[in-house]
Structure 1
Amino acid sequence: MARRRIAEAAILYTIGSLGYCLLELSWRGYTHWSMAVTGGICFFLLYQIDVRFSHRPLLWRCFAGALAVTAVEFAVGCVVNLALGWGVWDYSRMPMQLWGQICLPFFLLWFLLCIPVLGVTGVLRCSLFRKGEGRAP
């Protein structure tokens, strides 16, 4: 059971790491290795939201997902951008931003991106990991 959970987490982390970097490459044209770490964490959290709250409406899960991704990005941004000074991103010119690390427009974008991402986590949950609706994770 423990090996299965470790393997599941590793698969989810890898999918998230690769997906997040591909998303950044298509959006900005470049990425940073810290975004692979961030993406793995975010996808794992989105999967957990999908598993634990599969009974909730999709828009509720998208809101929870956008909050989770934004919280991870804020934490990572405070470390890599503010504490270490790497300058991976800077949202200080964006509207409704906090310390240049997160902003409302990207929260809204993550909300929308959660629709297809939660579709992917649902497929993984039901087919690959066999965690159907109503079953405990």
Structure 2
Amino acid sequence: MVNIKNNFIKYILLFFVGGYAYCGIEILSRGYSHISMLIAGGVCFISIGLLNEKSPYRMSFVSQMVVSSVIITGVELMTGLVVNVWLGMNVWDYSNQPYNVLGQICLVYVFIWFFLSPLAIVSDDYLRYWLMGESKPRYRFW
């Protein structure tokens, strides 16, 4: 029972760290954010953290970056379809951007997420190490 409670607290903490970081990135880039981005950021951060926690083999750092950028883009697409298309909240619209998909994601941002993903990967690993007593992170670049 204690382990379930500890895991719940751990993932709530990671969720909010990722969510607030995601909102911060958005505020820095466009000047404002939305509560849906806190949720999307939390989901992304937890998903990225699980890449090397639950994988049957150790992924290289570059592989984690590639998969992380796909995860973030996928979560943004799903969030956009729910928030903007289904609920009609019009929080963002990439229709005027090249290589957009339904105006909800822009494939150019996949590359931006690729280069920002090391922040999430390393942050998750060291939060787990420093605050939760998990094993010290080690990375294999390729």
Structure 2 length as normaliser, TM-score? 0.87
Residue 127 of structure 1 deviates from its aligned partner by 2.5
- Aligned partners of 2:85 and 2:23: how far apart in 1? 21
Extract unaligned runs of 5+ from structure 2.
Answer: 138-142
Give the aligned partner of residue 104 of structure 1: 107
Give the aligned partner of residue 16 of structure 1: 18
The answer to whether the 8 Å contact 1:47/1:121 transfers is yes
State whether structure 2 residue 118 is matched by structure 1 residue 115. yes
Aligned partner (choices 44, 48, 52) of residue 50 of structure 1: 52
Extract unaligned runs of 5+ from structure 1.
Answer: none
Deviations 1:71-107 (A, max 9, x none): 1111110011111111111111222211011121111
The answer to whether the 8 Å contact 2:18/2:44 transfers is yes
Question: For the aligned residues, what is the CA RMSD?
Answer: 1.7
Structure 1 length as normaliser, TM-score? 0.90
Quick one: percent identity of the two aligned structures?
A: 31
* 1:78-89 map, 5 Å: 78-89=81-92
